[in-house]
Each structure stands twice: as structure tokens, then as C-alpha cells.
Amino acid sequence: MITIAVDAMGGDYAPGEIVKGIEAARDRYLDLSFQLYGLADQVPALIQNSERIEFISVSEVIAMGDEPVKAMRQKKDSSMVQAAQAVHDGRADALFSAGNTGALLSCAIFIVGRLKGVDRPALATALPSFGSQHDQFVFMDLGANAENKPNHLYQYGILGSFYASHVLGYQNPRVGLLNNGAEEDKGDELHKEAHQLMLHTQAFNFVGNVEARELLDGSADVVVADGFSGNTALKAIEGTALTMLKQLKKAILGAGWRGKLGGLLLKPAFKSMAQQLDFNEQGGAVVLGVKAPVVKTHGSAKATAVANTMGQIKTMIDQDLVSDTAAFIVENHEALKVKKSAN
Amino acid sequence: MITIAVDAMGGDYAPGEIVKGIEAARDRYLDLSFQLYGLADQVPALIQNSERIEFISVSEVIAMGDEPVKAMRQKKDSSMVQAAQAVHDGRADALFSAGNTGALLSCAIFIVGRLKGVDRPALATALPSFGSQHDQFVFMDLGANAENKPNHLYQYGILGSFYASHVLGYQNPRVGLLNNGAEEDKGDELHKEAHQLMLHTQAFNFVGNVEARELLDGSADVVVADGFSGNTALKAIEGTALTMLKQLKKAILGAGWRGKLGGLLLKPAFKSMAQQLDFNEQGGAVVLGVKAPVVKTHGSAKATAVANTMGQIKTMIDQDLVSDTAAFIVENHEALKVKKSAN
């Protein structure tokens, strides 16, 4: 039996949609059990069937706008911190929240704890990929780290490669480095040095630089970025997709009867396109490099997205993602240290 | 009479479309004259009417794949270097090319020359803006500089603000800083310090951080980024827009008769949307912070885009962009020095 510690109070639709999603996941995955951390006057009344669902009462909630590290330190009896503590103590196997991303990162790093040998855990997500044999690629770091060193990016290659092979099932995943040019001498010092570290590694299958223009083209199965530009690229992609859908709608509405009829005819086509581009349905963002699966869904996640994310966590555990990553890093400790001293 | 030095050999459709575009501009703008730098066996035969068009023969061409600084130094008799030299010597007022961007930047900085007091000239372009009173915003630096200091970003605010007011005609343009969060303490050290430099400045109208998600929303009239993330964001926007248009086409083609008919009905709506999003038609990218207008159009630019860009250069000169920017920086030399010593 796998036990997932759930922050039932995080997210725009918490606790209602969280509880609903957990009950759906419980019915779908028979080897999952759940601990729901939440306020006693809100959560218990929502649980329809408490089979494999344990409610644990807390007195505080970390808000979306709270300063992450401060919130983690001061709100010790919050749903998120208590859920993280359960994972740290071995009472649960994984941590889930749809709440404050920064606070969840802090809980992952400081309470669940870093894997031995990992300098900077990173936030990763799967984005849609067009034109490769796979329909998703792993993109990281999404902003867990504002300042990066070459060795961090090198380690992201290891962490992302394990995620792609274990959770997405890709064989020998192709790892690329987000950089502002294809040639190996492109970019600032950080990216030039990271490229050199990756170039001769045996730890993963490096395929060179990837430009932001090609991100969605399937040029690589894992794209590694420093936290600042990874965050920038992710948000630029999301913003552009949203803007285009809005402009498309506007153009159709502005086209009179032609627009009305054409829009009606193309509705199924638009819907399938919008689904392919819906990053939120593709599962949660994962903190890689910590001692247990820690997964965050979008703040606006509803029950279905929550339930799907439980399936993602189950795969991470079934496929031994964390233990295999940890073992690799320990086994290659000396080799990785050499890499480290090189910068 | 304004004289523009034209690299007739740069770009995917050079020299044919360049010469055609220059002739169109000559007919459209009666106070413009042109120097066409190109190969004697290719360019003269293309010129239909040599009124206000002077051909200057060169023996070399800088290729798209040439290493920029090396190409500038070694190909001294190339069309690009000779055109830049004419601007440096005062024989021409502005420099235009559709060729190798890096080489043009090098020619701008090392041959045309930096404005006194400007540490790092930057590459800027206008991108479409939806939801603001203006339909474009200025975005910079697009990758002229891989490594930036806080003071560079601060200066970009000055350069971009002058461009928005003089060339786009915006009053008191709102300047934002591309950062990975709205609050002033967000980002890495570079962005935190740049934010502080901008916060209390009198030199431009700073409106705070802008996230990549809001870039196209019209949150600011000028968005300043370090060269690495500016380049990343620009390419992520272009890539996403292209991918979506491709997927839209695919979805329509895959929808049988509904798709065919619907696509036919919506053709004008799609066309107007694609035009709004066509970055290449919005004019060229401009090197700001050098002693004369230096403008680059997309490598795939055809005659119309070339002709439009001549109009953009004419506006830069008519509105005294360079001399007003230079005067401001000289007048505020002491104030800017104080800013500089702060980091």
C-alpha cells in the first residue's frame, strides 16, 4: 500500500475539488491510501467514503500570497507543513499540494530533504511536444532556483533523464540544454560551462543546445534550463498560447455569419487543439532531487486533474524513481565530484 | 536628404528583394537616397532606375553562418563592413542589413561606434501588444549581450524609452523589467539590483516587473530584459505562435468536410490574426546606443518588409532619436554615474 500525504487546503478550489479528486483516485487506484491534512470544520464533511482516506486535523493554512520560507517556518501546524512532516517521518510516501509553489518547494527541500549528492533540487514539468515520437518532454528548472552554477544544470540532466525514463517510459532519453544558439560556444559563461560538462558525460544522453524556438518541436525529451530562463520560457509559452486562443476567438466573433458558421463547424478541431496545448491537464510539476515524490498541480486544478496527478505519483513510486536516482548519484559520487571541481 | 547605407548582399533573398525594396522606398520617400553595397556582377543589373540610388562595388560578402567578430575583422571589403564604414565616415546617415545579426551588431558597436556614456548597445524590436492602448511594445535586449550587469538594464530603460517616444510616438512610455515575479524582491541578484536602480529614477517611467506571461498583454510600452532571457522569451513566443498555427492547420485538415468548409469560411479571420502576429512585418530590429540608426530586418524579408524598414529609419532620423538620446545621456552623465557606482 502506498500512502500519499495530501495538503487538502491548497489551491483555488480547495478543499472541495481536492477531496473529490482524492476520492476518485481512491476508486481508481486500489493500492493507494491517503492522508488528508486540513481544517476540521471544512474537510471531514466533504468526505463521502472514508475507505483508505484518513483525515488529519491541522489549525493553519499557507495562503497563495504567503512568503514561502517564512510561511514554512512560522505555520508549523499548517496542512502543507504537516503533510511534509509525515513524509519526512516515514508515515507517508509522497507529498501532494495544489497550493503555494514556493512554500511547497521549501517544504520539499527543508522538510522532506534533499537527496545526498544533489546540490539543488529542481522543479520539472511535462510540456506538449509536436513532431517527435513522444507527445511530451520534460522541462526543468521552472524557477526553483534563481541563481544557478554549471554543475546544477549538469545534475538537472541526471534528474530529468531519470524522470523521463522511469515515469514517461522513454528509452535513453535525449537531454538538451536551453541556450541562445545551437553551437557549443553560445550563451553566457554559465551555459558555455554547463555545455562542456554535459558534452562528455556518460550519465545521460546529451544532444546539445536547444533554442527556445524549438522547445515544442520535440528536439529533446528533456530540456534543462537555469531556473530564471526556464521560468521565463515556460511563462512566455503559456502567455503566447493564451493570447493566440483569445485572438482566434476574437477574430471568429468579429467575422459575422461566416465566423459563426465556421466556428461551429471547426468546434471539434479547436477543442482537440486546445486540449493538446492545455498544460494543466498534462499532470503536475514535480520537485526532483528530494527524498520522496513531491508533486504540485496548478492552483486552478479541479478534481480530474487532482486524480490524474495521483496516478503520476503512483508511477513515480511503482517505478522506483527516487531510489534509482539516489543510487545512481551515490554510485557515481566520485565521477560527479570531478565534474563539480571542473567549474 | 537622408542617405542610407544598404548591405545589398545580406538576407535569404539578397540581392534581388533588397534592391526591389529599396526602389519601392525611393519612390515612396522623396527625401531618402541610398548607397547599395554589393557585388558588381549581381547588383547593378537589378537596378531598374538609379535615381537617388548609388551602387558601390565590394568584393566580399559576410555569410549567415560566419563568426560575427571574425567576419567583421577579416572581410574588410564586404558589403556590410563597407556600408558601416560609410556611416562611420559621415558619408551615410544610417545602416541597413538583412544579413548576419551578430556581424551587424559588431559593425554597429565597433565601426559605427557606441554613444558616449552607453556601456552596452542593445538590440530592440517592436512586438505586438494586445489589450493596451498601443498595438506594439518595445522589447530589448534580444541577445546583443550574453552577460549583463544591473547598470546595463538600467540604461536599456533609457534607450528603450527614447525609442518608444521618438519612433512609436508614445507619451511618457511605461518601462517594465522582465522578471520572474511581480514583487520587487523577485529574481536573481541581477534583476533585484536592476529593479532597485529603476525604482527611483527620473530618467524614465518605471512601472515595475513584467512576467513573461504578460509580455503580449500590453503591461508596459517598453520591456527591458537581460540579453539571455530576452532572447529566450522572444524565441519562445515565436516558436509557440508558429507551433499553434501549424497545429491549427493540422486540426482543420484533419476534420474532413467540416474542416474544409469551416476553414474556408474563417480564412479572412485567420489571415487577420496571422498578420497581427507576424513579427517580421512589424519592422526591423534596431541597435540602440550607437551613433547612428542601425537596423536589421529578418533574413527572410522580402521587398515590402525592406521598404517598410526604410520608413522606420526615416522616422528615427526625422525625430532626432540618436541625437536626443545622446544629449540626454551627456546631460545626465553625473546622475547616471551615481547609479552606476551603486552596483
Q: Give the CATH number, domain containing residue B127.
A: 3.40.718.10
> Distance between alpha carbon A255 and the CA centroid of its chain, in Å?
40
Question: Given CB atoms, is B300 within the 8 Å cutoff of chain A?
Answer: no
Contact A213 B238 (CB under 8 A): yes
Q: How many domains does chain B have?
A: 2
Contact A258 B239 (CB under 8 A): no
B98 shares a domain with B135 = no
A110 shares a domain with A153 = no
Position A238 in a domain: yes
Contact B236 A241 (CB under 8 A): no
Flag the least confident range among A112-116, A283-287, B100-104, B226-230. A283-287
Cell numbers that stand for B267 in this block: 480564412
Q: Are B223 and B176 in contact (CB under 8 A)?
A: yes
A22 shares a domain with A97 = yes
A21 shares a domain with A157 = no
B126 shares a domain with B76 = no
Say yes or no to pLDDT of A337 above 80. Answer: no
Say yes or no to pLDDT of A338 above 60. Answer: no
Question: Given CB atoms, is B119 within the 8 Å cutoff of chain A?
Answer: no
Position B177 in a domain: yes
Q: How many CB pairs under 8 A join A and B?
A: 181
Chain A 218-237, residues with CB within 8 Å of chain B CB atoms: 227-229, 231-237
B304 shares a domain with B160 = no
Position A327 in a domain: no
* Cβ contacts of B120 on chain A, cutoff 8 Å: none
> Among the three residues A251, A281, A311, which one is the final residue of a domain in this structure?
A281
Q: What ipTM does this complex have?
A: 0.90
pLDDT band at residue B343 under the 50/70/90 scheme: very low
A276 shares a domain with A132 = yes
Position B310 in a domain: yes
Closest approach of A262 to chain B, Cα-based (Å): 4
pLDDT of res. B340 = 53
pLDDT of res. B337 = 63
Chain A 238-277, residues with CB within 8 Å of chain B CB atoms: 238-244, 246-248, 251-252, 254-255, 258-259, 261-266, 268-270, 272-273, 276-277
Say yes or no to pLDDT of B223 above 80. Answer: yes
A263 shares a domain with A204 = yes
Position B331 in a domain: no
Contact B146 A188 (CB under 8 A): yes
Of A121, A117, A94, A99, which Cα lies nearest the Cα of A109?
Answer: A121
State which residue of chain A sits closest to B226, comparing Cα positions.
A229
- A183-227 pLDDT, tens digit each: 888 899 999 999 999 998 999 999 999 999 999 999 999 999 999
B275 shares a domain with B149 = yes
B188 shares a domain with B157 = yes
Chain B 143-202, residues with CB within 8 Å of chain A CB atoms: 143, 146-147, 178, 180, 187-189, 191
Say yes or no to pLDDT of B79 above 50. Answer: yes
B304 shares a domain with B260 = no
* Cβ contacts of B234 on chain A, cutoff 8 Å: 212
State which residue of chain B sits closest to A127, comparing Cα positions.
B240
Q: Which domain holds residue A209?
A: 119-281
- B107-145 pLDDT, tens digit each: 999 999 999 999 999 999 999 998 888 999 999 999 999
Position B342 in a domain: no
Of B178, B191, B163, B185, which Cα lies nearest the Cα of B225?
Answer: B178
